[in-house]
Structure 1
Amino acid sequence: MADYLARLEEEMRRPPLHGWLRPQAIRADGSEVEVRLPFRPEFAGGTDPVFIHGGIVAALCDLTAHAAAACAAGTPVPTVTLGVDYLRAAPGVDLRAVGILRKLGRTLARVDVEIFAGDRLVALSRNTFAIPEERP
């Protein structure tokens, strides 16, 4: 049986960008992952009131979706498409991302992501990843 949480933790450490963002692995199974992004002042896109820059939200969508696909495929997978719908401004609080694997095919994986600030849904994302021909 695969250790999905260990794989998710590895995905949160590996890319150099994650060293700056500092996402935290919360939970993972074969079809869903959860990631927490603690708020830091440098994430602000506005200061009166404080809200998180949309680029930070998009990065969280991409890294969460990638983690869900990589955990299921057992290997890193390159992003093919990333689409983000911003539903409301994300206030300056910790964000929680849930990545839901919708399909793991032979050549592509599809993942949806929900981004929450507290209990409020602030963004949705639909993502596609290429599955390498050779995988473990």
Structure 2
Amino acid sequence: MPDYLARLQEEMRRPPLHRWLGPEAVRADGSEVEVRLPFRPEFAGGVEPVFVHGGIIATLCDLTGHAAAACAVGRSVPTVTLGVDYLRPAPGVDLRAVGSLRRLGRSLARVDVEIFAADKLVALSRTTFAIPEERP
């Protein structure tokens, strides 16, 4: 049986961007992952009140969706499409992202991501990833 949490932890460490962002693996199985993003002042898109920049939220959607697809497939998968719906401003607190694999085909994977701030849903994402053929 694959160790999905170990795979998620690897996905959170591997890309150089992640070293700057600091996402943390929380849980993973074959169809869902959870990632925590500790808030930092550099993530602010506004002050008075402080809220998280939409670009940070979109990045969290992409990396969480990618992690869910990569855990299911067992290897890295490139993003094909990324759509984000912002439902409300995310206050300057830690974010929690839950990525759910909705469909895994031969060439594409579809993942939905929910972003929470202080247990309130702040954004939704639907992302598609390509599943490249493995080369010998």
Structure 1: gaps spanning 5 or more residues? none
Hey, what's the Cα distance between the residues in 2 that align with 1:69 and 1:135?
19
SS of aligned partner of 1:66: helix
**Residue number in structure 2 paired with 1:67:** 67
Aligned residues: 136
Q: Measure, in 1, the Cα distance between the counterparts of 2:9 and 2:30.
A: 14
Q: One-letter code of the match for 1:117?
A: A
Matched letter for residue 101 of structure 2: L
Q: Which amino acid aligns with 2:85?
A: D
CA distance in 2, matches of 1:40, 1:20: 11
Matches within 5 A, 1:45-60: 45-60=45-60
The two structures have a TM-score, normalised by structure 2, of 0.98
Number of the residue aligned with 2:112: 112
Deviation at 1:135, TM superposition (A): 7.4
Paired AA for residue 104 in structure 2: L
Residues 75-104 of structure 1: CA distance to partner in whole angstroms, max 9, x if unpaired? 000000000000000000000000000011
C-alpha spacing 1:135/1:83, structure 2 compared with 1 (3 Å): farther
TM, length-normalised to structure 1: 0.98
The secondary structure found in structure 2 opposite 1:75 is coil
CA contact (8 A) 1:23 1:37 kept: yes
CA distance in 2, matches of 1:6, 1:103: 22
Q: In the alignment, is residue 130 of structure 1 matched against residue 117 of structure 2?
A: no
Number of the residue aligned with 1:28? 28
Q: In structure 1, what is the equivalent of residue 99 of structure 2? A: 99
Q: State the percentage of identical aligned residues.
A: 84
Structure 1 segments of 4+ aligned residues over 6 angstroms from their partners: none
The residue aligned with 1:43 is 43
Look up the equivalent residue of 2:18 and give its one-letter code.
H
Letter in 2 for 1:5: L
In structure 2, the gaps of 5 or more residues are none
The answer to whether the Cα contact below 8 Å between 1:33 and 1:98 also exists between their aligned partners in 2 is yes
